[in-house]
Amino acid sequence: MGALLERESIPHALLFAGMDGVGKRTAALRFAMACNCRSAGGAAEAERPSLPLCGHCGACRKIQAGIHPDIHMTAPSGAAIRIAQVRALCDQLAMKPYEARYRFAIVSDAQALNAEAANALLKVLEEPPDRTVLILTAIQASDLLPTIVSRCRSVRFHPIPRATLADHLERHKGLSPEAAAAAAVLANGSFARAVDANLTEWMPRRRWLIREADALTGAPRIRTLAFAERLAKDKSKLGDALEILKLWFRDLLIWPHDPGRVVNADMADRIEPAARRETPAGLLAKIDAVARVQRDIAGNANPRLALEVLARGLAAPGGNK
Ligand SMILES: [Zn+2]
């Protein structure tokens, strides 16, 4: 970001690429603020963006509140960004900016542009309106039309290191060091995901899952069915739940050799007895079984049935030896 601002001219088009939750959209808004902040730089029409931006002048405040008339946000409606949305944006960009020094059009998840919409956007890129910056965000540049990518300056966003995430969660979200470390692993480098995960119900849910998975060994059929049913109920949380289970079995596997590397370090009291009950081969089989369910569900298998098979496998007393 800093390097972009130090250049004399502000690019017409940028592509911010990186996984979800690493801060692409936030960076786009900060850039818009830096280019429009009125407080630094003195002269109102200063050509160079100001760093640090002030955060409290009229321009900064409007952008932060999402009410600046010259900052246009476009995002998928449903699964796609449709031609009508791009046309509406083009209509806006054909007019003069209301008040901004630099107008911004931010198109989030640009990989969702359908072909027609992408071609309409390409026209804007070919003839960029004056004092307008177009920022596209996407998970990876290769998901977009090469003709679009070649007209944008690409900025790559890297996943946030685990230690940085954990540190933030510990200091600003009040998690214990061990819980923060666990949340950071699950968030896998995504800041938004880490904050989201711990602010809602992720931490208690992880405890529930691990307790249940633990209690499954040798459990009667009715219990395995109930577990599968509860997991299947909330599809949006199923991905995380399966990931948590895999991390748990992985912890049990490495605990005897390297207890310092377990993810769920805050649950050491539970890890120890569970690890003693299991064999390495049994744990590897459980990790495989969870991974198989992840693949099956990604391939459109019935989640409920796949989870029932998984739960029965985790319960089978002989199955983990
Ligand atoms: Zn400002």
Higher pLDDT: 207 or 112? It is 112
Asked whether residue 144 falls in the same domain as residue 210, the answer is no
The continuous run of DSSP H or E covering 155 comes out as: strand 153-156
CATH number for the domain harbouring residue 223: 1.20.272
136 shares a domain with 24: yes
User: What is the distance in A from the centroid of ligand 1 to the CA of 93?
Assistant: 23
**228: domain range?**
201-315
Name 155's bridge partners.
16
Question: Do residues 151 and 14 make contact, with C-beta atoms less than 8 angstroms apart?
Answer: no
Residues 14 and 140 in one domain: yes
Please check whether residues 116 and 238 belong to one and the same domain: no
Residue 320 belongs to some domain of the structure: no
| pLDDT score of 61 | 94
**Interval between CA 35 and ligand 1 midpoint (Å):** 9
- To which residue do tokens 């979800």 refer? 20
Do 147 and 15 fall within a single domain?
Answer: yes
In a domain, residue 135? The reply is yes
Of 45-49, 65-69, 200-204, where does mean pLDDT reach its minimum? Answer: 45-49
Counting residues of the chain whose pLDDT is more than 70, the rounded percentage is 90
Q: DSSP string spanning 30-80?
A: HHHHHHH-SSTTSSTT-SS--SS--S-SHHHHHHHHT--TTEEEE--BTTB
User: Ligand 1: distance of its center to the CA of 60 in Å?
Assistant: 4
Return the SS3 of 153: strand
Tell me which residue of 129, 138, 169, 135 sits closest to 153, measured CA to CA: 135
Instruction: Report, as an integer, the average pLDDT of 24-49.
Output: 73
Residue with more model confidence, 267 or 48: 267
Neighbours of ion ligand 1 (CB under 5 A): 37, 39, 54, 57, 60
Report how far ligand 1's centroid is from the alpha carbon of 24 (Å).
Answer: 20
Please tell me whether residues 8 and 145 are part of one structural domain: yes
Mean pLDDT of 83-98: 95
Whole-number Å distance between alpha carbons of 248 and 283: 10
Same domain, 219 and 303: yes
pLDDT score for 45: 43
What's the structural domain count of the chain? 2
CATH number at residue 145: 3.40.50.300
Answer whether residue 50 shows pLDDT above 80.
no
Q: In terms of domains, do 24 and 137 share one?
A: yes
Q: Are residues 15 and 139 in the same domain?
A: yes
CA of 39 from ligand 1 middle (Å) equals 5
> For residue 259, is it within any domain?
yes
Is the C-alpha dihedral spanning 235, 241, 245, 246 positive or negative? positive
- Domain ends where: 127, 156, 185? 156
Q: Examine the domain organization and report whether 125 and 9 are in the same domain.
A: yes
Indicate if the pLDDT at residue 319 is higher than 50: no
Residue at 184 is within a domain: no
CB 14 within 8 A of CB 136: yes
- Mean pLDDT across the stretch 214-237? 90
Q: How far is the CA of 301 from the centre of ligand 1 (A)?
A: 51
| Predicted confidence (pLDDT) per residue in 171-221, tens digit | 887 778 877 887 787 777 777 777 665 555 677 788 889 999 989 988 899
Answer whether residue 163 is part of any domain. no
Q: Domain check: are 296 and 215 in the same one?
A: yes
Query: Is residue 321 a part of any domain in this protein?
Result: no
Q: How far is the CA of 51 from the centre of ligand 1 (A)?
A: 10
Q: Are residues 7 and 139 in the same domain?
A: yes
